[in-house]
Structure 1
Amino acid sequence: MASPRIDPLTLEVVELIGTVVSRYYAEYDQAAAQHSLTGAQARVLGLLTLEPMPMRQLAQKLKCEPSNVTGIIDRLELRGLVERRPDPHDRRVKLAAPTEEGTATALRLRESLDFAREPLARLSADDRATLRDLLHRMLGEDAAEA
């Protein structure tokens, strides 16, 4: 049985999303390198500034193996950007958390990202809100939940 054809508009939207993602990652990796970080290290540090979390949860968010995350955390810890601390709810679990320097580095990195800021500045506040809501719908999320 042949798979149904995707309409040209859907193909164009998929291509545009791919272009946006590609540009975002290229700039993110470039900004990370300016802070002597790999893109993966920068993403982990960014996630940890939102909330400390165990390696397993980081791995789930990054869609990779926990052993990969452990290596990233080890390198960030050596640089003084991350520390491991006991989970206050379960002392058997270790949480990765940013240090003060790690939080400052993540903030500087975020501020150096022009890709999202420049193209989004071309959209009105209403357009940005509509785009946000559409992206939440695409991900099967209620905008109020996120």
Structure 2
Amino acid sequence: MSRIPAPHPAPETPDPRGSDPTHVDLLERLARAAAGYYRDLAAAAAVQGLTMTQAKMLILLRQPLPMRALAGKLACDASNITGLVDRLEAHGLVSRHLDPADRRIKNVVATEKGLEAVRVIRADMRATSAAFNRLDDEGRRSLYELLGRLHPDETV
């Protein structure tokens, strides 16, 4: 019986001898950063009595959005959006309005209470704030610009 050697873990940082990070290195680093952000978001949302998905929806509602657009931004089926909106509406965090240009479309709008919940959630995301505070002004500008290049056609 042959023994298969254990895989070597991916390096945490690029090789200090000067090699550039590979796509896999970048994907893993991005995944770790996103996982940390979502852990922090979930914890802050829970304090407000919300799920992470409900918090994500509220964060997306900087302007009114059709329910179908919310489904696309949350990468879920449109049928799931109705239940999410129902729950947020029951708590007074969002409301639905007919689109003035097309009355078949319902736009979801964050209420003042919903916008305040977003402000509180963001303020309570201490791990994410601490991570950004480790960057100087130039580092934050660079990160912002680089992240914008990853998916330039998408808006959040």
The TM-score range, normalised by the shorter chain, is: 0.7 to 0.9
Match of residue 116 from structure 1? 128
Within 5 Å, which residues of 2 pair with 1:8-27?
A: 9-10=21-22, 11-27=24-40
Measured on the aligned residues, the alpha-carbon RMSD in Å equals 2.0
**Normalising to structure 1: TM-score of the pair?**
0.85
Deviations 1:13-36, CA, capped at 9 Å, x for gaps: 222111111111111111110000
Report % sequence identity: 39
Larger radius of gyration: 2
Shift of 1:8: 7.5
Deviations 1:54-93, CA, capped at 9 Å, x for gaps: 1100001111101111110010011111111111222221
Q: Name the aligned partner's letter for residue 37 of structure 2.
A: Y
Tell me, what secondary structure is at the counterpart of 1:9?
coil
Q: How many residues align?
A: 136
**Normalising to structure 2: TM-score of the pair?**
0.80
Tell me, what secondary structure is at the counterpart of 1:80?
coil
Give the whole-Å Cα distance in 2 for the aligned partners of 1:61 and 1:13.
23
Deviations 1:97-141, CA, capped at 9 Å, x for gaps: 1112111111111111123221111111111111111112222x2
Q: Is the 2:67–2:108 Cα contact (8 Å) retained in structure 1?
A: yes
Structure 1: 5+ residue runs without aligned partners? Answer: 1-6
Alignment of 1:73 onto 2:64: no
Match of residue 82 from structure 1? 94
